Structure 1
Amino acid sequence: MVKLTMIARVTDGLPLAEGLDDGRDVKDAEMYKQQVKALFKNLASGHNDASRMSIETGPYIFHYIIEGRICYLTMCDRSYPKKLAFQYLEDLKNEFERVNGPQIETAARPYAFIKFDTFIQKTKKLYQDTRTQRNIAKLNDELYEVHQIMTRNVQEVLGVGEKLDQVSQMSSRLTSESRVYADKARDLNRQALIRKWAPVAIVLGVVFLLFWIKTKLW
Structure 2
Amino acid sequence: MISNEFSHVYASELSRPDLKPYQFIQFDSFISKTKKIYGDSRAQSNLDKLNTELVDVKMIMNKNIEDLLYRGDSLDKLQDLSANLKNQSQKYKKYAEKINFQLLLKQYAPVILISLFILFILYRIIF
Q: Relative CO higher for 1 or 2, CA cutoff 8 Å, sep ≥ 6? A: 1
Q: Same fold (TM over 0.5)?
A: no
TM-score bracket, shorter-length normalisation: 0.3 to 0.5
Q: TM-score, normalised by structure 1?
A: 0.29
Write 1 or 2 for the structure with the bigger share of helix. 2
Q: TM-score, normalised by structure 2?
A: 0.44
Max radius of gyration: which structure? Answer: 2
